[in-house]
């Protein structure tokens, strides 16, 4: 890894959080690691001052010619998901990819890679808010909305904001191994490893106005997810037939009633894992999974990690005042 050059792209309207993650990981001098660390530089398409999010102004020393010699290129977000990518940037990234440079994006930066054709036929991800737009505009990409990052070898994409840190630590792990990656993570006071396959977020559907019966049913189940609901009992609560319930759920949420119920139970379990130190068996019972093993099964299927791992990543176990009671 000696003399490995990491180049970050700056642009008008730079996403400062994503750019800060990149500089924190790769730009700092790290003599304590006792290893050949990266060289780091920033380039841009335009000379002079550029505005960045938060009212900052930045100025770059390098133009896009830096990408001709970069070993790793990082795209920390983009001006906007609907903002065209200039032809000169597309050409520079295509040339870098052709010579074998590693190219990675954070959040909306994936739209730059997509515009350059670097993701055609590949799997990619971005922030969950943008996955639908990405898939619609670039149907040749296999968009995975349920992961933190996707490593396709030469091309890597990550989800929103903090998921970029997971992806950047993943790059260090590939280059320098687990020990170095964990030391960097420790200095940043972040988790050493969140698996890229872990789900970003499980959205809880918000129904349109006029869906009164379903809204009442959803509120009832969210208040008591542990009850033994069936299609028939759910239909009775909504005062509709089973067939009508299935149709209305599909039309309003894009999923069947029982799939929604499972996802709702998972969301409820996630809240308890985050906010309490209750035993897994108690959480499984309260959320309607019946057993801890059943809850683990559904977490592997939908969250792509175990309940224990989820609690390690997001729980407030160190907070002695976290809620302990379930009413």
Q: Which two tokens stand for residue 126?
A: 């971005």
Predicted confidence pLDDT, tens digits, the chain (327 residues): 678 999 999 999 999 999 999 999 999 988 888 788 999 999 999 877 899 999 899 999 899 999 999 999 999 999 999 999 999 999 999 999 999 999 999 999 999 999 999 999 999 999 989 999 999 999 999 999 888 899 999 999 999 878 899 899 999 989 998 888 888 887 887 755 555 455 555 555 554 444 567 888 988 998 999 999 999 999 999 999 999 999 988 888 778 999 999 989 998 998 899 889 999 999 999 999 999 999 999 998 888 889 998 888 777 643 333 334 443
- Same structural domain, 178 and 249: no
**Which pLDDT score is estimated for 118?**
98
pLDDT digits 0-9 by tens, 195-220: 545 555 555 555 444 456 788 898 89
Give the structural domain span for 20: 5-188
Number of domains in the chain: 2
Residues 166/305, Cβ–Cβ less than 8 Å: no
- Same structural domain, 52 and 103: yes
- Same structural domain, 175 and 224: no
Phi and psi (nearest 5°) for 8?
-105, 140
73 within a domain of the structure (yes/no): yes
- Same structural domain, 158 and 299: no
- Same structural domain, 26 and 144: yes
**Which pLDDT score is estimated for 209?**
44
- Same structural domain, 217 and 184: no
CATH number at residue 247: 1.10.10.60
- Same structural domain, 118 and 238: no
Burial (Cβ within 10 Å: 0-12, 13-18, ≥19) of residue 83: middle
Query: What does the DSSP 8-state code read for residue 41?
Result: E
**Which pLDDT score is estimated for 318?**
36
Using DSSP's 3-state secondary structure scheme, residue 174 falls into helix
- Same structural domain, 18 and 115: yes
227 within a domain of the structure (yes/no): yes
Q: Where are the beta strands (DSSP E) in the chain?
A: 5-10, 39-44, 49-52, 56-59, 72-76, 102-106, 123-124, 142-143, 149-151, 155-158
CATH number at residue 25: 3.40.50.880
- Same structural domain, 36 and 78: yes
pLDDT digits 0-9 by tens, 116-142: 999 999 999 999 899 999 999 999 999
320 within a domain of the structure (yes/no): no
- Calpha distance 60→178 (Å, rounded): 33
Q: Which two tokens stand for residue 113?
A: 């890679």
319 within a domain of the structure (yes/no): no
- Calpha distance 125→141 (Å, rounded): 9
């Amino acid at each position: 890894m000696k003399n490995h050059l990491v180049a970050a792209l700056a642009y008008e309207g730079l996403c400062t959080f994503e750019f800060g993650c990149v500089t924190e990981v790769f730009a700092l001098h790290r003599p304590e690691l006792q290893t050949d660390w990266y060289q780091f530089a920033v380039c841009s398409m335009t000379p002079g001052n550029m505005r960045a999010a938060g009212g900052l102004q930045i100025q770059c020393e390098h133009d896009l010619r830096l990408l001709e010699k970069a070993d790793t290129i990082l795209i920390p977000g983009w001006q906007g998901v609907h903002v065209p990518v200039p032809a000169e940037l597309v050409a520079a990234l295509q040339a870098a990819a052709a010579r074998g440079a590693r190219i990675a994006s954070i959040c909306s930066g994936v739209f730059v890679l997509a515009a350059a054709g670097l993701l055609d036929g590949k799997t990619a991800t971005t922030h969950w808010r943008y996955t639908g737009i990405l898939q619609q505009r670039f149907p040749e990409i296999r968009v995975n909305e349920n992961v933190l990052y996707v490593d396709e070898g030469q091309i890597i994409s990550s989800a929103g904001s903090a998921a970029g840190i997971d992806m950047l630590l993943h790059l260090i792990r590939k280059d320098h191994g687990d020990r170095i990656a964990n030391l960097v993570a420790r200095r940043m006071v972040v988790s050493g490893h969140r698996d890229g396959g872990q789900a970003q977020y499980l959205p809880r559907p918000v129904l349109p106005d006029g869906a009164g019966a379903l809204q009442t049913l959803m509120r009832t189940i969210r208040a008591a997810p542990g009850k033994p609901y069936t299609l028939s009992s759910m239909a009775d609560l909504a005062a509709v037939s089973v067939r009508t319930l299935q149709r209305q759920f599909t039309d309003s949420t894009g999923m069947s009633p029982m799939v929604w119920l499972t996802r709702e139970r998972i969301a409820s379990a996630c809240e308890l894992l985050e906010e309490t130190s209750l035993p897994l068996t108690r959480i499984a019972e309260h959320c309607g999974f019946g057993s801890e093993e059943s809850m683990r099964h559904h977490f592997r299927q939908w969250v792509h990690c175990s309940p224990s791992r989820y609690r390690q990543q997001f729980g407030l176990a160190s907070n002695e005042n976290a809620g302990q009671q379930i009413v």
